[in-house]
Structure 1
């Protein structure tokens, strides 16, 4: 696949299923595929090793209704190893954070797909421009609920040549919160890509307590074995009231070995102390693909943020991982 079309393929896979999924059943009108990953991850921080191992299982189904219209369904659940936290210097095991990542069904045609359930919000395909690392990165790409993976959501996604558009609306499901997000991305044949998106949600008992707004813009360029990308975020009335930041990313592919690096910076613009950055870090990793299904990687993050939040800031982290896709 051309590298300048990778972003389009990723966006399309948001609603169509996993790239590694294996078809286990098919007839003249229907098909069923199962896929996922098993990923062992050992994270070393401040001398302690945390087991962040996880596995994902997904099931995708498609059934032709007419020659140009089809029904689809997708399910993905993630299972994690038991996590541990430090309390007064002692590691305490906590319950694993298993979750349904995606669960939706809908209808599709040459004009796009309309689905309902728990799905990826519309800004995910914009943050994917720079969210390319095996483990770290994406600290400047945090999204509000309506723009992230949310349940009780109705979405449309369409792919037209090199243009992908997506929009979703999240209904209030008792959380006193509803909103919407929309995004578009376009990739030129020369390898230059652009993306932009906007999200807004209302929170509170009467939906007027707080309005959260978020805008993202991204650009990328792929040439030969190199890939470069940048992401910019501008958010208002979120947890830090007014947040701005960016992520810069680069990737180099050398046969089966892939090197990636990112720089993340995120700040609260209402805070006069410039040292209190919400994120300020460099990260690098190396991934070796033994086969299309199996890879190993090493990832390191240099945390330069000076604010200490819950004892987790200003601590570098090293991660070793092995991942099998099926």
Structure 2
């Protein structure tokens, strides 16, 4: 198995600009480290935003937000005979409003890895589906939204109550085949257990991948239906190191809805047929300045709900490492419109800093 994949998995790195951790203990085959990041940024809206609490539109505003801060604890243990066990706990932080629920669970799992036999993980984890579909989910300010539509229950991002297996088989210099299996014992009301299969190939700086996910859902539906997603993806390079290009295309049944979009007329229907599209092109200069442009859209083929675009947007972004652990970022997202009745376009901007622990 590709040892780089094992190292990333054990360290708890999924995707993103970087992953750091402070090692507190390393002795007799055991390690323990603390990682995560905190951020503060200003998020602004240029258009009118629908407020579901007041059932009215409000003019554009600026809010101070935390940009998905988290803290994690990571431990590994050498089991001998080439096996390594690891455990991870990660919690989202609420440190801006001073209210309750200061910590909420993001990840919690135990894994066992072997260079030849692969890696098995049990718990709340980044899913095998996300290994393939998450390759464009990179920038800090604006990234892939459609992956996070009920992602805990649908397993498209951080999958809850999942058992997974992955392996990466080297076939020669700079060539390997990878694959994964996942099964969710869903505890979320309205979602039954789900299964996933992923396959792909790495060749030098290129990657091609396919993911399949399926399981019944009744949430927001009049009767139970099978929620299915096929994801195709391709990428070149490594994000934050020179040129990086990646694209994801998904074909879905009962995976996406129309809730939480900028309209007061919509009640949040689940689409029986939809497609998700995400594309990113980025270039990181030698001085660590990383410029990117990304496009995302969800297209509906459900003529009963909306026949056309659910949402579409394009973002222009920049990230700069002042130090290896202190990053500034800025982004402007252009709302390219929607075919949902009553939708109002709303551009957004986000500027802030992130400190990696």
1:267-294 deviation line (CA, Å, top 9, x unaligned): 1112389875112111110111111111
1:192 corresponds to: 206
Structure 1 residues 210-289: aligned runs within 5 Å: 210-222=225-237, 225-238=242-255, 239-255=270-286, 256-271=288-303, 276-289=308-321
2:112 corresponds to: 107
2:182 corresponds to: 168
Aligned residues: 307
- Taking the aligned partners of 2:6 and 2:337, their CA distance within structure 1 comes to 32
Superposition RMSD in Å: 2.9
Contact 2:87 2:111 in 1 (8 A): yes
1:9 CA displacement = 5.5
Structure 1 residues 1-326: aligned runs within 5 Å: 13-14=8-9, 16-18=11-13, 19-46=19-46, 47-53=60-66, 54-81=68-95, 98-110=103-115, 111-142=117-148, 144=151, 145-161=154-170, 162-173=176-187, 175=189, 176-189=191-204, 191-204=205-218, 209-222=224-237, 225-238=242-255, 239-255=270-286, 256-271=288-303, 276-307=308-339, 313-326=344-357
Rate the CA distance shift 1:82–1:225 in 2: closer, same or farther, 3 A.
Answer: closer
1:90 corresponds to: none
Rate the CA distance shift 1:97–1:299 in 2: closer, same or farther, 3 A.
Answer: farther
2:261 corresponds to: none
- Taking the aligned partners of 1:229 and 1:299, their CA distance within structure 2 comes to 19
- Taking the aligned partners of 2:346 and 2:100, their CA distance within structure 1 comes to 24
- Taking the aligned partners of 1:98 and 1:302, their CA distance within structure 2 comes to 32
1:157 CA displacement = 2.0
Q: Give the match's secondary structure for 1:42.
A: strand
Contact 2:277 2:298 in 1 (8 A): yes
1:212 CA displacement = 0.3
Rate the CA distance shift 1:55–1:247 in 2: closer, same or farther, 3 A.
Answer: closer
1:156 CA displacement = 1.2
1:236 CA displacement = 1.0
1:165-199 deviation line (CA, Å, top 9, x unaligned): 2221101326342101122332211x222111010
1:124 CA displacement = 1.0
- Taking the aligned partners of 2:295 and 2:69, their CA distance within structure 1 comes to 28
- Taking the aligned partners of 1:196 and 1:301, their CA distance within structure 2 comes to 28
Contact 2:313 2:337 in 1 (8 A): yes
Contact 1:132 1:260 in 2 (8 A): no
Q: Give the match's secondary structure for 2:302.
A: coil
Rate the CA distance shift 1:95–1:82 in 2: closer, same or farther, 3 A.
Answer: farther
Contact 1:74 1:103 in 2 (8 A): yes
1:82 CA displacement = 5.3
- TM-score, length-normalised on structure 1? 0.84
1:63 CA displacement = 0.9
> Structure 1: which 5+ residue stretches go unaligned?
84-92
1:88 corresponds to: none
1:310 CA displacement = 9.2
